[in-house]
């Protein structure tokens, strides 16, 4: 294993003397006694090690800006931690902007992305001094210019482009292919640039931005993406005399959800990106641009696990054995959304041999709420604690209150200490936004 994204489990996982799973020096069974289930757990050591993997791997290029993609996980504590580790943030909503702002992040290190940012969101971004806005389409160019003008500001922007690269990941998390809802088509860039240079004088264009997809295991696609971005920068210089000095290649590096997954290391990807960038700088004769990367999943996924309590089970005659847990598609929608696969172990009775093939069913009222199909686990009984690995990314951030179930708490563990960083919702939280109109109160 060369980097943390290639690990199936958090780096501090072990079985302790009690035979229980331990992460960050904390016994997972004791954690459940203290905080309940379902429970998201983030291992600080794993998170900091990933950050250092990235810093080491990319230090070969002098101008790198690492922006954590907040969509993978956005909480104030994790934002503060990542900011302290030297990361900026890719944000996509007023909610994400506000969270990092309240966490004390330097807003100059924040980049606002998204294909349909609203007037209010763009206004908030300008007011709070977000460092870059990646403009996605013609409508947004005009809207942002108007807002910037009325605020007497010149706003620093990138153009999000669709580089026309297909990567082999789930269709819903591919974004760089030509027929995508995100970004300007390559054939639309000139028109956008002409508008910026001639009409939208409250916008200052610094560079180009692309993101080709998520959970990517191929490495050549990053080189292809760099070539397209640098070639465009050189072409825009020749055509418009425009000196762009930033390229943002997005995120996308995959993680190891199951033994079958073999993601490349951060170092391999960094080598490919930097070598190709240096080659392209020479080939297209441009000044070395600042490089922005926006990893989300590969930063936070491995550090996270989710703990559940086992409840009912059902053996279908001549069929599967279903074991139900107290969470599922509302706290982790990825299996039902993308057929995502996960690995799990039992957190108590770790010594027991894996002997049964079972299907882990969620508690939500959908047949599709199956968290893990056909996994080998020891005999499970009501009250056992199941630990599902690699749930740090796109779990809490995609969670819902489906079936009016409260969202779980999140705990940060490190050096045998646990701190709650997101409180468990209670029943009153669930109804706190409901209003019964007076006319119904008879
Ligand atoms: C523009 C952009 N940047 C970065 C990311 C982060 O991707 P990942 O979590 O795969 O690294 C995404 C995810 O969809 C994205 O849309």
pLDDT tens-place string over residues 321-333: 999 999 999 999 9
Ligand 1 neighbour 251 (Cβ under 6 A) = yes
Residue nearest to atom 3 of ligand 1 (CA): 250
Residue nearest (by alpha carbon) to ligand 1 atom 4:
251
CA triple 166-171-176, angle to 5 deg: 35
Question: What pairs with residue 184 in β-bridges?
Answer: 161
Q: Which part of the chain has CATH 3.20.20.10?
A: 44-300
The CA–CA distances, whole Å, from 404 to 307, 320, 353 equal: 20, 28, 37
> 175 CA to middle of ligand 1, Å?
9
Q: What is the assigned CATH class of domain 44-300?
A: alpha beta
Cα pseudo-dihedral 107, 113, 118, 123, rounded to 10: 20
Task: HSE, CB side, 13 Å, CA atoms: give it for residue 228.
Answer: 25
Q: In terms of pTM, does the model score above 0.85?
A: yes
What's the pLDDT tens digit per position in 367-399? 999 999 999 999 999 999 999 999 999 999 999
Hey, which residues does 366 pair with through a beta bridge?
A: none
To test the ligand 1 pocket, which listed residue (294, 390, 396) has its Cβ within 8 A of the most ligand atoms? 294
192 C-alpha to ligand 1 centroid (Å): 23
Question: Is the shortest distance between the CB of 252 and ligand 1 below 6 Å?
Answer: yes
What are the tokens at 356?
A: 């049964």
Ligand 1 atom nearest the C-alpha of 160 is 1
Residue 301 Cα, ligand 1 centroid: separation in angstroms? 13
Closest residue (by CA) to atom 16 of ligand 1? 211
Q: How far is the CA of 391 from the centre of ligand 1 (A)?
A: 16
Q: Which CATH superfamily is domain 4-43+301-431 in?
A: Lyase, Ornithine Decarboxylase; Chain A, domain 1 (2.40.37.10)
Atom index in ligand 1 nearest the CA of residue 296 equals: 9
Q: Closest ligand 1 atom, CA of 252? A: 10
Give, for all 442 residues of the chain, the pLDDT tens digit.
899 999 999 999 999 999 999 999 999 999 999 999 999 999 999 999 999 999 999 999 999 999 999 999 999 999 999 999 999 999 999 999 999 999 999 999 999 999 999 999 999 999 999 999 999 999 999 999 999 999 999 999 999 999 988 766 555 555 556 677 889 999 999 999 999 999 999 999 999 999 999 999 999 999 999 999 999 999 999 999 999 999 999 999 999 999 999 999 999 999 999 999 999 999 999 999 999 999 999 999 999 999 999 999 999 999 999 999 999 999 999 999 999 999 999 999 866 666 789 999 999 999 999 999 999 999 999 999 999 999 999 999 999 999 999 999 999 999 999 999 999 999 999 999 999 999 999 8
Q: Which of 214, 218, 247 has most ligand 1 atoms within 8 Å of its beta carbon, as the pocket-test mutant?
A: 214
Burial per residue of 402-436, b for 16 or more beta-carbon CB atoms within 10 angstroms, e otherwise: beebbbbbbbbbbeeebeebbebbeeeeeeeeeee
Task: Say whether 74 is catalytic.
Answer: no
Does any ligand 1 atom lie closer than 6 A to the CB of residue 160?
Answer: no
Choose the catalytic residue: 26, 280, 365, 387: 365
What pairs with residue 372 in β-bridges? 360
Regarding the beta carbon of 64 and ligand 1, being less than 6 Å apart is answered no
Complete edge-to-edge strand list for the sheet that includes strand 14-15: 14-15, 21-23, 26-27
User: Nearest CA to 334 among 311, 376, 378, 304?
Assistant: 304
Specify the domain boundaries for CATH 2.40.37.10 within the chain.
Answer: 4-43+301-431
CB 308 within 8 Å of CB 265? no
């Amino acid at each position: 294993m060369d980097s943390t994204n290639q690990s199936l489990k958090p780096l501090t996982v072990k079985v302790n003397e009690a035979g229980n799973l331990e992460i960050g020096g904390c016994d997972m069974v004791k954690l459940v006694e203290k905080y309940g289930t379902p429970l998201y757990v983030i291992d600080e050591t794993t998170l900091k090690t990933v950050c250092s993997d990235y810093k080491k791997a990319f230090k070969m290029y002098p101008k790198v800006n690492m922006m954590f993609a907040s969509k993978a996980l956005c909480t104030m504590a994790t934002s503060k931690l990542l900011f302290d580790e030297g990361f900026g943030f890719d944000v996509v909503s007023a909610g994400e902007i506000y969270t990092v702002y309240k966490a004390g992040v330097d807003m100059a290190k924040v980049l606002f992305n998204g294909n349909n940012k609203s007037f209010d969101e763009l206004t908030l971004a300008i007011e709070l001094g977000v460092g870059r806005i990646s403009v996605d389409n013609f409508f947004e160019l005009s809207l942002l210019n108007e807002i910037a003008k009325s605020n007497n500001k010149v706003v620093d922007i990138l153009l999000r482009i669709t580089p026309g690269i297909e990567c082999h990941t789930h269709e819903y998390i591919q974004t760089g292919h030509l027929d995508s809802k995100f970004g300007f088509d390559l054939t639309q860039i000139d028109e956008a640039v002409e508008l910026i240079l001639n009409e939208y004088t409250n916008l200052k264009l610094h560079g180009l931005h692309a993101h080709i997809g998520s959970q990517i295991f191929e490495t050549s696609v990053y080189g292809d993406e760099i070539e397209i971005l640098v070639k465009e920068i050189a072409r825009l210089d020749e055509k418009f005399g425009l000196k762009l000095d930033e390229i943002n290649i997005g995120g996308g590096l995959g993680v190891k959800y199951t033994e079958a997954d073999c993601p490349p290391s951060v170092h391999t990807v960094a080598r490919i990106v930097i070598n190709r960038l240096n080659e392209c700088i020479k080939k297209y004769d441009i000044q070395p641009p600042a490089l922005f990367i926006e990893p989300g999943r590969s930063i936070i996924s491995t550090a996270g696990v989710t703990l559940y309590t086992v409840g009912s089970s059902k053996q279908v005659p001549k069929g599967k054995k279903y074991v139900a847990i107290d969470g599922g598609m509302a706290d982790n929608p990825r299996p039902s959304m993308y057929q995502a696969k996960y690995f799990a172990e039992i957190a108590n009775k770790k010594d027991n041999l894996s002997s049964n093939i079972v299907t882990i069913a969620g508690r939500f009222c959908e047949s599709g709420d199956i968290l893990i199909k056909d996994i080998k686990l020891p005999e499970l009984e009501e009250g056992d604690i199941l630990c599902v690995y690699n749930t740090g990314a796109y779990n809490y951030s995609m969670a819902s209150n489906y079936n009016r179930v409260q969202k779980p708490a999140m705990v940060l563990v490190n050096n045998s200490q646990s701190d709650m960083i997101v409180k468990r919702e209670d029943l009153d939280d669930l109804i706190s936004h409901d209003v019964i109109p007076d006319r119904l109160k008879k």
